Structure 1
Amino acid sequence: MSNNNREHENLEFIFKQKRILRSKVRQVLKSMDPTLRSQEDDIIQSIVLDAPWFKSSKRLCAYISCSALREVDTSKLLSQILRNPSTDGSMLQTAKKLYVPRVEDKNSNMRMFNISRMDDLVANSMNILEPASVDADGNDREDVMHANDAVDLFILPGLAFDRSGRRLGRGGGYYDTFLKNYKELAKERNWRQPLFVALSYSVQMVDEEIIPLTPNDVLVDALVSPSGVIPISPAALERMKP
């Protein structure tokens, strides 16, 4: 058997394992007690909001949570990021810039656009909130890939995670493709690499090595679960020192 055939068979096996795991995790999420889920949403967001690495981040990419997909809620995080620092009379709160995802097509192409308020979002065909590519005045929104400054922090969704940084997505490949491209951009521009931080319910944490890896999978730097922050990569261990 040629190497190409062997690699293809290996990938097919990995994709099958991922599909099986996705199905199991979806069932577990479906049967998760709604009260517990709500409690964990609050705990996870509070942990992030109180974290120095979040407070010091000036430019962030974050997902808009979708309850139908049973993703960890990000509504409080987004509200805090979009809050104008001058409205509460305190200049201690550093103004932050937020980019959120917009799926462009079914070929794993996703973009991240700058928004300044939640009203900038519209529901797409799947009823998931996304930014329109132009603002209310008809101007093009800033695409993070064309921004002049580096992103400090990515807040990421997923279906399952482990303590070695493996992340199981929903199978579209959107985030892995985007994160890989952004890492390349940061490297080209000599920017510090952003932290990739995923949010996870307790039931989404799995034992190490259960999530199969392909060459295109991007590892996360850290996880936030109801039990706290789990720094994984050297960059996270450095930037998340207590």
Structure 2
Amino acid sequence: MSLSRTASLVERKRLMRALIKTRLSAIPLAVLEEQSRHIASHLLESKCFKESKSISCFLSMAGEVNSWGIGLAILEAGKQLFVPKIIKGKNSHIEMLRVYDKEDLETLPAGVWGIREPDLTWRNGRRASAFDESSSLDLVLLPGIAFDRSMSRIGYGKGYYDRFLTTYHNQPHRAKDIRPQLVALGFDEQVVDAGEIPTEDHDWKLDGIVTSQGFTWPSPDTANTR
């Protein structure tokens, strides 16, 4: 489906979200669960996962690729796991906070939208944040509603990930030529043709998308150079 180029960008994004939600609602839960297992397998067997020492992974909610097994696999592989926490306020944003072990992951409380989130403290101490000067992410696993083959992404409309990535990348102590790989996890039905997703200047391009069919990587002319 090609959305009208005459519609406003906001309207095109709204229509794309509605289209993908309708697609997903027609798919049996068992099929989506099977896709999630294949997606996790493809990711965990990939070079980008194996070579990463510090990984940010969203904790899934209903309607998303199940990422819980991935979070556990990150910890079991001896890698550092960071998961998002929504910080509400005048300038709501997400922080990526470290989850230290399996017990810590499995006892995280429910936060905004019922998603499991870490508290700001752990064992009476401050949790490490990806914003800390001593932290450096190698791989960021992103959720979303829709992705296209030119590596564009539509989230839930809050802009949390784009703002996080911009803030993280612009920290004074970050080397500007080094940044984490950005890989989305999506059901097959969430991926549309190249150029179908409307974008804005502040939107970050993905480095790859993992579906049940495997990895989709960008063509040379759409590679993320930011």
Mapped contact 1:134–1:140 kept (Cα < 8 A): yes
Alignment RMSD: 2.2
Partner of 1:80: 73
- Counterpart CA distance in 2 for 1:57 and 1:206 is 28
> In structure 2, do the counterparts of structure 1 residues 171 and 37 end up closer, same or farther at CA, with 3 Å as the change threshold?
same
Pairing partner for 1:130 from 107, 110, 117: 117
- Counterpart CA distance in 2 for 1:207 and 1:174 is 24
- Counterpart CA distance in 2 for 1:160 and 1:128 is 20
Partner of 2:26: 31
Q: Confirm or deny that 1:51 pairs with 2:51.
A: no
Structure 1 length as normaliser, TM-score? 0.81
Partner of 1:217: 203
Partner of 1:96: 79
TM-superposed deviation, 1:191: 6.2
TM-superposed deviation, 1:31: 1.7
- Counterpart CA distance in 2 for 1:233 and 1:198 is 16
- Counterpart CA distance in 1 for 2:47 and 2:112 is 37
Q: Confirm or deny that 1:144 pairs with 2:137.
A: no
Mapped contact 2:93–2:163 kept (Cα < 8 A): yes
- Please list, as runs of the form range in 1=range in 2, the aligned pairs for 1:111-122 lying within 5 A after superposition: 111-117=95-101, 118-122=105-109
Seq. identity, %: 30
Task: State the one-letter code of the partner of 1:82.
Answer: L
- Counterpart CA distance in 1 for 2:180 and 2:11 is 31
Structure 2 length as normaliser, TM-score? 0.87
Which has the larger Rg?
A: 1
Partner of 1:167: 153
TM-superposed deviation, 1:138: 2.1
> In structure 2, do the counterparts of structure 1 residues 187 and 24 end up closer, same or farther at CA, with 3 Å as the change threshold?
farther
- Counterpart CA distance in 2 for 1:80 and 1:191 is 29
Higher helix proportion (structure 1 or 2): 1
Question: Which consecutive residues of structure 1, in runs of 5 or more, have no partner in the other structure?
Answer: 1-9, 84-92, 238-242
Mapped contact 1:108–1:172 kept (Cα < 8 A): no
> In structure 2, do the counterparts of structure 1 residues 149 and 218 end up closer, same or farther at CA, with 3 Å as the change threshold?
same
> In structure 2, do the counterparts of structure 1 residues 120 and 27 end up closer, same or farther at CA, with 3 Å as the change threshold?
same
Mapped contact 1:108–1:173 kept (Cα < 8 A): no
